[in-house]
Structure 1
Amino acid sequence: MSGKFFIAAALAVTLSGCVIAVGGDREFDNDSSWKKTQQYNQQQINKLALDTSADDVRTLLGTPDFTESFSHEGETVTVLFYRTHHAKSDGKTSKEECTPLIFRQNRLTGWGDKAYKYL
């Protein structure tokens, strides 16, 4: 009986610092997901042509991360923001991590920070 107790005690001491990981590493999976999304968005935005409709862009890229709409010089301007680059690891997407796509009368008139600043 004391032999079994000794073995159990020895195992308890040696195994007490062990950690067994089961399943995938969730942080890695999430990390991989946003990287793939960014890469996909960059590739698709690089293929865009001026005068593409906002509906076609939404079909291609999906729901934007942010949307703005306002009147400028008598016409409606809509800006769709899609995540394309990583700025900081805080678990949130910010506009600084997105590329703005500018639409006037539902047609793509420009994209990128310069186009957005010149509105």
Structure 2
Amino acid sequence: MLKKFIRYLILGLGLYALIATLVIAFYKDDPQAMIWQDRESFNKRYIEKLSLDSQTTLNTVLDYLGSPDLTFAKRDNEQVLQVIFYRTQHITSDGITTMDECTGLLFKNGQLILWGPSAYSKYQEEIR
């Protein structure tokens, strides 16, 4: 009886490990389905990993993080500037996402050129 119990226990643990491994390997996080606290930390972790060397494009960011919380864009002849904001820190529980709760990412012609607190001020300088 004890051998049968141990056999089923080992089989159950093995099956659990297999299912957990499959979920971790193949399940893609969906920012749109997350609660706001999880989405904030998901956005923050992704943005912290960005680098200018990686040739990050606007479409890459949109595919991974989903729709931005705030966005501004300006076209000047052939140049397109766009700054998008993703919420990365909670400040006020008022139900409204503001720029001070977000991290900005500035794109020039679809290529990431700057992110962080200075992204919006750089955007404003460029559109004048």
TM-score, with length taken from structure 1: 0.67
Structure index of larger Rg: 1
Q: Please identify runs of 4+ aligned residues in structure 1 that moved more than 6 A.
A: none
Separation of aligned partners in 2, 1:73 and 1:84: 33
Structure 2 partner of 1:90: 94
Separation of aligned partners in 2, 1:113 and 1:41: 15
Q: C-alpha deviations, 1:49-95, integer Å up to 9, x for none? A: 22301000001111101111014696210111100011101112112
Larger mean CA deviation between 69-78 and 56-65 belongs to 69-78
Residue among 42, 66, 74 paired with 2:70: 66
Secondary structure, counterpart of 1:113 in structure 2: coil
- Of Structure 1 and Structure 2, the greater helix share is in 2
Structure 1 partner of 2:51: 49
Contact 2:83 2:119 in 1 (8 A): no
Structure 2 partner of 1:103: 107
Residue type of the alignment partner of 1:86: H
Q: Percentage identity across aligned positions?
A: 38
CA RMSD of aligned residues (A): 1.9
Separation of aligned partners in 2, 1:79 and 1:72: 14
Structure 2 partner of 1:39: 41
Separation of aligned partners in 1, 2:87 and 2:41: 9
Secondary structure, counterpart of 1:109 in structure 2: strand
Separation of aligned partners in 1, 2:82 and 2:111: 9
TM-score, with length taken from structure 2: 0.62
Residue type of the alignment partner of 2:90: H
Secondary structure, counterpart of 2:94 in structure 1: coil
Separation of aligned partners in 2, 1:85 and 1:73: 35
Query: Post-superposition shift, 1:116?
Result: 2.4
